[in-house]
Structure 1
Amino acid sequence: MEDLEVELERARDLDVSELADAIETIGFECTRCGACCKSEEDDPHTATVFPDEVRNLQATGSDGEADERDWRDVARPMPYGLDEDGAGETFEWALQTDSCGDCTFYEEDEDGTGSCSVHGSRPLICQTYPFSVALGGTSQPMGEAVDEAGMVRAHECEGLGRDISREDAESLASALKERAVRELEEAIDVRDSYEPANPGPGETVVHDSEGAKRPDGSTVGE
């Protein structure tokens, strides 16, 4: 894999118009099925959220008004690398889940139509699903690509192949570029600031772009 700094420059040079062309070629319309917000079989919903996005969601109420949530109401340690009790060291944060393993912000009507209670403040990974950019160091949510056009990869979603307006394609493309840049910036910052935390038995440490944190978002060592 190429150096992360090289990939970051590639991400910054992405042409939004070309990304929008690719999205139009693939096609997409959200059907509000909720599949991207819910657990899959025995695997809880896992979506990366950046530290500043956690803070934004902490202050965003379900009705769009000002609110204040605990860090743990919004995010949980990314489970990868932790033991079965959730202890150890891991990198980055995942959106918090409910008792069913669904995203804590997911709501569903009686007819099965899904919605996001913080839609206007949702993280970039949610704004851009089911698409990702074919760059090293950026994530590919929900498995391998099922379709692709140019630099854009599409992941499993029943809304693929549907007509999308140019305006919506460009909006999605802009968010997709922003996410690609942010993911690489975060990866570089995590790499540069990482120092083994050596957590004790039952302890969890999350390394993000701001340093080492406890599950409640507080900084280790403070």
Structure 2
Amino acid sequence: MQILSIKNIRAKREELESEYSLLTEFPDGKLAEIIEDVGFKCTLCGKCCTKEFNDHVFLLDSDIDRAKRIDPSSIVPAPYFELCDQDGNFYVSGYSLRCQKNGDCIFLKDNRCTIYSDRFSICRVYPFMLHREEDEDGVKDFRQISGLNLHGEYNHPVEKKDAEEIAERTTAYEKEFLEKEIAFYSAVLKLFEENGLKPVRRIYDRKMREFSADLPVTVYVFSKGNFERNTVKKSDYISKT
């Protein structure tokens, strides 16, 4: 959904709230059963950390302090800015990790995660998921595995207890992600209404052209319930090391 008006902000929040309700109604135990049936086994191929498989690593609020402790320079505003006001300020729902020049995760080296014991929320549940996406026919339904048959091995035995633990972590991640997105749109709506701001697509497009030309832009990142002002250029998203 393109955020072109205050009405669109409300509609997006309502859409996310609906998705959250559907998530909470997903039958207990069903995801664990699917995890058991699929029998996924990680082969340490490192593909999940590459540009080929994942565009960027989005950080939940619970990841931020850890990321700053590991490497304060590793985080940037998430790359797909949700909206832009009439003054040319972008707004985005959180932070993400910088990438290497080839687009791979900044912490991937020789196909291995260099911070594995401290890896972030999405990294701990991948390739498992529990959110709705459209298929090739436009039908929207829950997906539980990302990159099925494209990495790892399948049909390995998975203990029921292990499957239940994975399912619990995955569901918790999806809930935290949606809660953050809902809170972001609620905060944006309040900020815009109280300050006479409005989303403007023409300004959004102009500022994105500036960003693509590696000119600095202002991005307000929603983090831990507040908006944090950042000034970034496109080149800032690539690690200098």
- Conserved 8 A contact 1:44-1:97: no
- Looking at structure 1, the residues matched to 226 and 95 of structure 2 have their Cα atoms a distance apart, in angstroms, of 12
Q: Deviations over 1:22-54 (max 9, x none)?
A: 1111221111111111123xx984121113302
Unaligned ranges ≥5, structure 2: 1-11, 83-87, 198-202, 233-241
1:90-109 aligned at under 5 Å gives the runs 90-91=91-92, 92-108=94-110
- Looking at structure 1, the residues matched to 181 and 127 of structure 2 have their Cα atoms a distance apart, in angstroms, of 21
The alignment's TM-score, normalised by the length of structure 1, stands at: 0.68
1:205 maps to 2:219: yes
- Conserved 8 A contact 1:77-1:90: no
Q: Tell me the SS of whatever aligns to 1:59.
A: helix
Q: Aligned pair in 2 of structure 1 residues 5, 45: CA closer, same or farther (>3 Å)?
A: closer
1:190 maps to 2:184: yes
Q: Which residue matches 2:229?
A: 214
1:153 maps to 2:167: no
1:1-222 aligned at under 5 Å gives the runs 3-15=15-27, 17-40=29-52, 45-60=55-70, 69-70=71-72, 72-73=73-74, 75-81=75-81, 89-91=90-92, 92-108=94-110, 114-135=111-132, 151-156=142-147, 157-166=150-159, 167-194=161-188, 195=191, 202-209=216-223, 210-215=225-230
Q: Percent identity?
A: 24
- Conserved 8 A contact 1:88-1:205: yes
- Looking at structure 2, the residues matched to 161 and 23 of structure 1 have their Cα atoms a distance apart, in angstroms, of 10
* Residue type of the alignment partner of 2:182: I
- Looking at structure 1, the residues matched to 117 and 28 of structure 2 have their Cα atoms a distance apart, in angstroms, of 21
- Looking at structure 2, the residues matched to 127 and 44 of structure 1 have their Cα atoms a distance apart, in angstroms, of 14
Q: Aligned pair in 2 of structure 1 residues 132, 58: CA closer, same or farther (>3 Å)?
A: same
Q: Aligned pair in 2 of structure 1 residues 44, 161: CA closer, same or farther (>3 Å)?
A: closer
Larger gyration radius, structure 1 or structure 2: 2
Q: Which residue matches 2:9?
A: none
- Conserved 8 A contact 2:77-2:221: no
- Conserved 8 A contact 2:38-2:154: yes
* Residue type of the alignment partner of 1:80: Y
Q: How many residues align?
A: 186
Q: Aligned pair in 2 of structure 1 residues 79, 172: CA closer, same or farther (>3 Å)?
A: same
Q: Aligned pair in 2 of structure 1 residues 133, 173: CA closer, same or farther (>3 Å)?
A: same
Give the drift of 1:17: 2.7
The alignment's TM-score, normalised by the length of structure 2, stands at: 0.63
Between 1:31-40 and 1:44-53, the stretch displaced more is 44-53
